[in-house]
Amino acid sequence: MPSRRKFIQSSAIALSASSLLPYAAAANKAVRRDDAKKSFLETGMAGYSFVNYSLEQTIAMMNRIGIYNLSLKDFHLPLDSSQEKIDEVLGAFKAGGINVYATGVIYMRSEAEVDRAFAYTKKVGVGLLVGVPTYELLAYTEKKVKEYDIKIAIHNHGPEDKLYPGPKDVYDRINKMDKRMGLCLDIGHAVRAGADLAKVVAAYADRLFDLHIKDVNAAKADGKAIELGRGVIDFPAFVKALRAINYKGKCSIEYEKDMKDALPGMAESAGYFRGVMS
């Protein structure tokens, strides 16, 4: 498709994960690639994309695709880490040119797990926690939001999620709570749950703190993750809606296809999204 080829820029380079080793050695240097052009939107990566990769490989992959903001998952930094370990991991990311802007997704099923999540996020030194507290814990979570002055962005997980299938299931429960209680809108799961993304962005603009960007091959429960632009999501309309509300959060790609050989698809997705934004 000609329009797709136009969107896929030089970052969409097919490179297997096994060839990352030459880049890992260079990952200790903060480098900015020329193809990471500035936009009214700021891109990032959702940490789950790197579940099969080491910290060093993650840094190398992010530099390779020209994305430098990361929502940190606990497989790279466990929730019970000492401050020394936290400083070590954050130092490695900083040396590799990566900005950790949030923690999560973190699941919370007890008050103790809420306490741990907020204490961890404070130690990491960021102001945004992407999390999933149960309904019963929302009031306690709000208490911790006020105590720590840390925003929480509750993540929707699609039709199979008994708590928050779509963004409305989050918004309806937090819209009268502290304004630091908001949404991490996963657009792929939202579409699978039947949401209209442009309408969601407009309706929940005041509580839209973070985005997980993915595409799916069908707008139904069994839709599967696919490279951005190859699926059913209308990205130009979505980006237009974000522009209309002057969205200031991160647009973090969460790549969930071919997760053991993810770099080619990540690069293609990053290039496509940059093309749409431009």
Residue 250 is part of a domain; what is its CATH number?
Answer: 3.20.20.150
How many structural domains is the chain composed of?
1
| 209-260 confidence digits (pLDDT tens) | 999 999 999 999 999 999 999 999 999 999 999 999 999 999 999 999 999 9
Side-chain half-sphere exposure of 137, counting CA atoms within 13 A = 20
Q: Output the pTM of the full model.
A: 0.88
Q: Locate 266 and state its tokens.
A: 């990540």
Q: List residues bridging with 139 in a β-sheet.
A: none
Range of the domain at 90: 2-277
| 13-38 confidence digits (pLDDT tens) | 334 444 454 444 444 444 444 444 45
Q: What is the pLDDT of residue 9?
A: 37
Q: Which of 229, 45, 227, 106 is nearest to 53 (CA)?
A: 45
8 A C-beta contact, residue 210 and residue 130: yes
| 43-93 confidence digits (pLDDT tens) | 999 999 999 999 999 999 999 999 999 999 999 999 999 999 999 999 999
Label residues 141-153 b or e (16+ Cβ within 10 Å = b).
bbebbeebebbbb
Q: What is the mean pLDDT of the chain?
A: 90
Q: Identify the residue whose tokens are 């040119």.
A: 97
